[in-house]
C-alpha cells in the first residue's frame, strides 16, 4: 500500500527538483524562487525544513547530493549560468539541551558555462568526488575535487561538446562493460534526430567521448536515469520524453571482434502526455515516472520480464489506484463454468410437524 501525504514546501514559485540523500532521511528541494531548502525527517515520519537559503540569482533547475563518505555536500545549477557546491557546517552547541547549529556554506561557484546550466549530478562513489554539469550550450563538463578536505578547488577534467543543447544527464553506477558511462538528453524540438546520447571514457583518447546515440527517441527529452545495477548483465536507462522509454544496453561483439552496445528501446504511452521525471528504487525493481497528467506512476516487471504500470498516485492527495491484474483461472471458477444442474425432485409447501 502507498500513502499519499502532502508537504507544504513554502516555496514562492515552481519547484523544479526534489532529491533524497543516500539514506533517504534528508531531502533537498529547489525552485524558481532562487532558494534551496533542506528537509529532515523526524521520529514520527514528518518532514521539517532545517535550512533554507538563497542560492542563485536565477531559477534553480536541479540539486544533487554527494555520497555521504564525502560529507553533507550538495550541488545546484541555475539559469544564471552557474553551478555551486555547498557544504553543511556544524557549529558549536549553544547549550547542553539544544542541538548544535547547522548552516550551509558555498564552497565554490563554477562559472565555465556561457548559457543556462540545466543539470548537475555527482558521480558514483568509486569514481571519487566528480561532478558533471550539462548546459544549454551542448557541453558536458566534468569537474573533480582533488582534495576532498578542500572543496573550493574544482578543476575541469573533461569537456564534451555536443551539437544539440542538453537538458539532463545521468551517471551509470555500474562498472560492467563500460567505465564512466554517462547519458545525456536534449530538449531541442526542431531537429528530428536522436535526443539521447551515451558517453564513456576512452583509454586511447584519454578523454570522455560520445559512443552511441539512441535514434529511436526523437522527441524532446526532459529527464534520464540509469538504473542501479543489481547483478544484471545489461544496463537500463529510463527516459522521460513525449512518452516514457526504457532503454536496454547490452554489450555485443561483432564479426570483427569489436565490442559495441546493442540498444533496445521500449516505449510506454500510459501517461498520454509529456513525462517530466523518472527515477528508480535501490534494486531497480521499480520505476517511478511523473507527467503532465498530474500523476505519479509506479512500474514493475512481471514474471514475463515485461514492465507494467502497478499503481497510479494522484497529485490531489487521493488514494492510489492500482492497475487490475488479469484474473488467474482457478479450479473453482473452471468448475462453475462447466457445471450442469439436473432436477432431482420437488419440495412441497406442507412442512410436517414432529
Cα separation, 277 vs 290, in Å, equals 5
- Walk me through the domains of the chain, giving residue ranges and CATH numbers: 14-269 (2.130.10.10)
Q: Residue 96: count other Cβ atoms within 10 Å of its Cβ.
A: 5
| Range 317-345 average pLDDT | 48
Cα separation, 15 vs 71, in Å, equals 25
Predicted local confidence at residue 113, as pLDDT: 95
Query: Residues 6 or more apart from 265 whose CB is under 8 A from it?
Result: 214, 216, 217, 245, 246, 247, 248
Query: Taking a C-beta distance cutoff of 8 angstroms, is the pair 4, 318 a contact?
Result: yes
Predicted local confidence at residue 2, as pLDDT: 67
pLDDT (tens digit, 9 = 90+) per residue, 16-26?
Answer: 999 999 999 99
pLDDT (tens digit, 9 = 90+) per residue, 268-299?
Answer: 998 899 999 999 998 899 999 999 988 899 99
Count of residues for the chain?
Answer: 354
- pTM, whole model, 2 decimals? 0.84
Amino acid at each position: 500500500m502507498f500513502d499519499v501525504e502532502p508537504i507544504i514546501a513554502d516555496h514562492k514559485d515552481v519547484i523544479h527538483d526534489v532529491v533524497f540523500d543516500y539514506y533517504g532521511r534528508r531531502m533537498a528541494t529547489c525552485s524558481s524562487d532562487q532558494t534551496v531548502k533542506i528537509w529532515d525527517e523526524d521520529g514520527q515520519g514528518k518532514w521539517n525544513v532545517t535550512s533554507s537559503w538563497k542560492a542563485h540569482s536565477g531559477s534553480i533547475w536541479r540539486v544533487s547530493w554527494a555520497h555521504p563518505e564525502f560529507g553533507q555536500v550538495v550541488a545546484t545549477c541555475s539559469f544564471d549560468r552557474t553551478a555551486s557546491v555547498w557544504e553543511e557546517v556544524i557549529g558549536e552547541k549553544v547549550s547542553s539541551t539544544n542541538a548544535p547549529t547547522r548552516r550551509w556554506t558555498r564552497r565554490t561557484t563554477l562559472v565555465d558555462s556561457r548559457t543556462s546550466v540545466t543539470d548537475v549530478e555527482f558521480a558514483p562513489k568509486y569514481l571519487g568526488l566528480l561532478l558533471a554539469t550539462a548546459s544549454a550550450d551542448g557541453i558536458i563538463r566534468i569537474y573533480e575535487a582533488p582534495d576532498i578536505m578542500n572543496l573550493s578547488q574544482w578543476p575541469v577534467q573533461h569537456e564534451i561538446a555536443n551539437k544539440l543543447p542538453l537538458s539532463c544527464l545521468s551517471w551509470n553506477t555500474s562498472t560492467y562493460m563500460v567505465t564512466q558511462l554517462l547519458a545525456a538528453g536534449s530538449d531541442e524540438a526542431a531537429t528530428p534526430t536522436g535526443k539521447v546520447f551515451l558517453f564513456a571514457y576512452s583509454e586511447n583518447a584519454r578523454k570522455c567521448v560520445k559512443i552511441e546515440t539512441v535514434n529511436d527517441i526523437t522527441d524532446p527529452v526532459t529527464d534520464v536515469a540509469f538504473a542501479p545495477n543489481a547483478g544484471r548483465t545489461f544496463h537500463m536507462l529510463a527516459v522521460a520524453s513525449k512518452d516514457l522509454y526504457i532503454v536496454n544496453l547490452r554489450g555485443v561483439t561483432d564479426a570483427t571482434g569489436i565490442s559495441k552496445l546493442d540498444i533496445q528501446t521500449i516505449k510506454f504511452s500510459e501517461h498520454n502526455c509529456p513525462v517530466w521525471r523518472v527515477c528508480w528504487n535501490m534494486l531497480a525493481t521499480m520505476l517511478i515516472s511523473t507527467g503532465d497528467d498530474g500523476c505519479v506512476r509506479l512500474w514493475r516487471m512481471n514474471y514475463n520480464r515485461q514492465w507494467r504500470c502497478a499503481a497510479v498516485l494522484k497529485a490531489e492527495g487521493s488514494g492510489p489506484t492500482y492497475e487490475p491484474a488479469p484474473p488467474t483461472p482457478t479450479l473453482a471458477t473452471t468448475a462453475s463454468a462447466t457445471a450442469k444442474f439436473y432436477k432431482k425432485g420437488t419440495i412441497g409447501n406442507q412442512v410436517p410437524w414432529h
